[in-house]
Chains A and B, each alone.
Chain A
């Protein structure tokens, strides 16, 4: 039992403030607390128990309990426990004490539920709008249950402009994005630049909202969500797919068949392989080394083919359903996969050797975008970013899921915390992934792929699931619900936390290093932005005629 001692510790200190606590499994803990005790308990867990902050979640529970729900999730990595501190707040002017002043990592999460649910984080250090678009009217909170999923607020103000902060004196504002060749997706950084040095920045993102969470709780069904979840991200889609399904399974106390667990592990590792190779390529492209970019894509190609042969698609595997997987790995596919892995290993070894000794690459990546364990802890940084800074966390080992508790692997750690270390970590992790897949193929038991479910899933249960995506931990939180769909599904993609560390990483660095620093966390803005859809122009599409566009472009110069 790992949950009990931690619960006891909390109880001992805050006994009266805890009306209820659940330990649904050995490695999960749900503690319901009184609202005033939320901040002290979070502080206690973060500072004294050294828990890692995962995410804060708001939920509209009014149709069921008449109240809003706020949760802060923590991970106890050495104790292998995921823990959620939940509290209920009243339906009128909901507000909770902000924890962001104690736990900087909670900054975005609290602003997010402020935007989407109207739950006020009191005394938040930086309570600016985060998620909603600039023109969105105040007081309309799209994730509330009484707002229909396709609601277009009539008073949406196209002309309202976002109030950016004043740049520090003597600094030039360099807009980085929303469109920039190294940003594959829209995000806007306002860099404060002095000469070539970046002195600070302000982030304005969340431009790629597709409303997946709202859709999931109002339109889609349990078994349709995995296909939507997969489309949260173009690179770690399978991670979201698996994480969602595992969260539901955990909430409903379902155990998928062992063969399904192994197949999930294999597919997740295939995804990690392709993602690591892709990232090494992209990092090289960002520093202008296109040849290695092409070569790592070449080496990556057989992996994509193998994934296509197994799942029917190169990238969107559509792998999981609640209680199992859809694709069988037949003996022929096994043989094919083994061949691909052997070839990958022999091809990647010389590349790794060459890259790891390339001084030309090192002078562009060493000492750049440096993080230290303190920064990692404060901003909840995860994945290769944390491991490169010497913080030994990996969900595959710390919070084992699927078949990871049955395979043997090393967690690669480096200690310099710079871009180079991240490159080293990811280059080396490729070999671990190959070994994991080989072990899975050896050990895979026979049996069914899909659990046969009896009746509906129970409603009102909580599920947590952390899955180690190639770029860090993906965390999913599910409250099961009625009508064959969850009441709330919260996705915390790895970039959500890692991006919050970016301002600290680029501070006092050269402008030229901005792109590679940002690239080094492997940012995925669509993962981060997944949340709310808003059909901005009240559902109308506007098609500009070419002349009109030309006119617009010309006039733009005259009207600053």
Chain B
């Protein structure tokens, strides 16, 4: 019976994310349009886009078609699995069984899918995109790991549902480390969700979507969907880690509070994306390196109990 409920709640989490992700993308587009004084597409446009792409013929273009297909599936499957593990305004599906390390692995897999996609496509621009994604991933992923580790250190546990409940602030003394990590992740969130100024790997005006350049039809739909899901899960992770207030309120209220926070976060991401220019890869690396340095300080503080 317990297993049944775990499966049900994980599945319902996934479906919620699948259902809401395009809507959030729609809100994002509408808000961008608003900032840009435009009408903007209808709120439901992302759903139609996905349906249209899914309905197209599956063309093979690239070096390794099978791997490409696999990478497209992986790209969506990895963040969806994360969605299945996260508490989304309700308690986490896997109580006392999941480990925060699993989360880190899955998130690395998300990036890995894009790399695989680019490598197996094998065109010049996808390879440039891959090398950029790789460089970003190497400097970016540690930041998230660091945040989780700081949280785990503060609560002395790697249990998923405890880590994802404002753990960085749970230090014995005043939570300096948590606040620092909040700043670090807030300043790198744009990169996690692949938005300007850090959409370097897919820069449309430079390298034409980089790794995704060779993809069309259903495969592209999966990548686009994955992109939308990533937006939701990273927003959810950020909220669970750093802004947990109100998530555990009673059933409908917690849900409402949680999703309102997600929407606000998406709005903030949109406004930042709309008012910035894209950085160059070397500038971005320097930026991330600086953040990594700061997060190391936070780690030391967390070890010392701050």
Contacts and interface: CB of A to CB of B under 8 A. Distances in A.
A and B touching (Cβ–Cβ under 8 A): yes
Contact of B199 (A181, A193, A288, A363): A288
Contacts of A513: 280
Contacts of A182: 205-206
Contacts of A287: 205, 277-278
Contacts of B274: 290-291
B61 interface: yes
Nearest to B125: A174
A511 interface: yes
B36 interface: yes
Contacts of A174: 124-125, 128
Contacts of A361: 277
B277 A512 contact: no
Contacts of B131: 196
Given A172-B124, A291-B35, A295-B36, A364 B277 contact: yes
A287 B204 CA distance: 10
A557 interface: yes
A285 B206 CA distance: 11
Contacts of A363: 279, 283
Interface in B19-60: 32, 35-38, 57, 59-60
Given A181-B204, A181-B208, A512-B206, A291 B275 contact: yes
Contact of B280 (A180, A295, A512): A512
A550 B275 CA distance: 40
B281 interface: yes
A284 B277 contact: yes
Q: Size band of the B side of the interface?
A: 20 to 34
Contacts of B197: 288, 360
B239 interface: no
A511 B206 contact: yes
Contact of A290 (B36, B60, B279): B36
The prevalent SS among residues of B at the interface is loop
B173 interface: no
B116 to A, nearest CB: 19
B228 interface: no
Most buried by A among B59, B128, B200: B128
B276 interface: yes
Interface in A107-159: none
Contacts of B282: 196, 510
Interface string B96-128: 000000000000000000000000000011001
Contacts of A364: 277-280, 283
A289 B37 contact: no
B196 interface: yes
B170 interface: no
A409 to B, nearest CB: 31
A513 B203 CA distance: 12
A181 B205 contact: yes
A461 to B, nearest CB: 47
Nearest to A288: B278
Interface string B243-287: 000000000000000000000000000000011111111110000
A291 B280 contact: no
B276 A360 contact: yes
A207 B210 CA distance: 25
Contacts of B200: 512
Contacts of B204: 181
Given A287-B278, A364-B278, A510-B281, A294 B203 contact: no
Contacts of B124: 172-175
A196 B281 contact: yes
A20 interface: no
A553 B281 contact: no
Nearest to A512: B280
Contacts of A6: none
Nearest to B274: A291
A512 B38 contact: no
A288 B205 contact: yes
A294 B274 CA distance: 11
Contacts of A360: 197, 276-277
Contacts of B208: 180-181
Given A181-B204, A554-B60, A289 B281 contact: no
Nearest to A511: B128
A286 interface: yes
B278 A515 contact: no
Nearest to B127: A172
A544 to B, nearest CB: 15
A437 B46 CA distance: 45
A298 B277 contact: no
Contacts of A172: 124
Contact of A512 (B125, B275, B281): B281
A174 B131 CA distance: 14
A299 to B, nearest CB: 10
Interface in A164-209: 172-175, 180-182, 193, 196
A196 B197 CA distance: 18
Most buried by A among B62, B277, B280: B277
Given A360-B197, A550-B59, A286 B280 contact: no
A294 B39 CA distance: 12
B35 to A, nearest CB: 6
Given A294-B37, A553-B59, A554-B60, A515 B205 contact: yes
A38 to B, nearest CB: 44
A285 B281 CA distance: 17
A515 B206 contact: yes
A285 B60 CA distance: 31
Nearest to A510: B280
A291 B3 CA distance: 49
B29 to A, nearest CB: 12
A174 B208 CA distance: 13
29 contacts: A174-B125, A175-B124, A196-B131, A286-B205, A287-B277, A288-B199, A288-B203, A288-B205, A288-B277, A289-B196, A289-B276, A289-B278, A290-B32, A290-B274, A291-B35, A291-B274, A291-B275, A295-B37, A360-B277, A363-B279, A363-B283, A364-B283, A510-B280, A511-B207, A512-B200, A512-B206, A512-B280, A512-B281, A550-B59
- Smallest CB-CB A-B distances: 7 pairs: A288-B278, A294-B36, A289-B277, A287-B277, A291-B274, A512-B280, A182-B205
Interface of A: 172-175, 180-182, 193, 196, 284-291, 294-295, 298, 360-361, 363-364, 510-515, 550, 553-554, 557
Given A291-B274, A294-B37, A553-B61, 4 more contacts: A181-B204, A289-B277, A510-B281, A554-B59
